[in-house]
Amino acid sequence: MRNTSSIPKSILDMLEEIKMDNINSSIVLTKRLVYVLLDFIKIVDNPTIDKIQELIIKMIETQPMMASIVNFCNKILIEIEKHQDSIKETIFDYSNEFLSNLDNQTQHISNYASSVIHSGMKIATYSYSTTVAEMLNYAKKQGKDFTVLCSESRPSNEGIILARYLGENGIKTILVTDAMLFSNIKDVEIIFVGADSLNKNGIINKVGTSALAKIAFYESIPFYHLCGIDKILPYDYPIIKETNRNPEEILKDDINNVIVKNKYFDTTPFDYITGIITEKGILSKEKLLSIIGSYKTHPYILKHILSNNNRDGKNC
């Protein structure tokens, strides 16, 4: 990332690392971005609103489909406009409050989700979610004995990281290929997955989640997304068109007449899921849509995202 802005190179380098991270969960990446912002206000003596706006846009651009990042950035802009005479203090206070809430929400979600787990249950999950991983560990510590079926989660194989975490915490885990997970889903009693974001169209998560939810729906298997309220995008936040990812993750060498499509996300309609388990409890589709409708995107962020969408559309 070439430094053509007023943002220090050390900050830009950290942003580039987060942008290239296709393994860690949205919670992990959001925390890292919060610390990037805190580092920025330590380095820059008198950060102006203009400089913060520039950095906020670059933060969103690292992972524009992850709602917790968008919502954190959105709220920061709103807060500093209210307190223009104390920008550093406002950022410091809100950032630390946000980090504390992230840690607390996982505990509350774990309480709600583990209540539907019983000993002897066979559970399935997909991709890697910090919230799901910690909830399963919490349920284990509560004395519940269960088995988890998870897949490698191609092409980044973050499912293997989850399997290692579960196994090292004493949870019986069966690791399979993605195709085998789909073929053996009838053997499980419940499915828990994370979420990168929720919008008016449904839940955005690792590609393949939508197909898994539809199979579960027709097989009458309870299917839950676990995520905090911070994953809910405002109603007016534009739908981001995901660009094609690195084709070499699937195919190292070019083959004549073969085009590689590599996408990381899909959207699961609300009608195919049993519920969204949040720190506020299990929310209905109606409640979620009500929350989505009540959120607004900051005009500066909205203008930038719309401009990018229009430019990308012309380049298609």
Q: Are 276 and 283 in contact (CB under 8 A)?
A: yes
Q: How far apart are CA 26 and CA 63, in angstroms?
A: 9
45 is catalytic: no
Contacts of 166 (CB under 8 A, 6+ apart): 133, 136, 137, 148, 150, 173
Catalytic hit among 21, 85, 145, 196 = 196
Q: How far apart are CA 311 and CA 316, in angstroms?
A: 9
Q: Are 67 and 231 in contact (CB under 8 A)?
A: yes
Q: How far apart are CA 203 and CA 191, in angstroms?
A: 15
Query: How many residues are present in the chain?
Result: 316
Tokens of 1: 């990332």
Active-site positions? Answer: 196
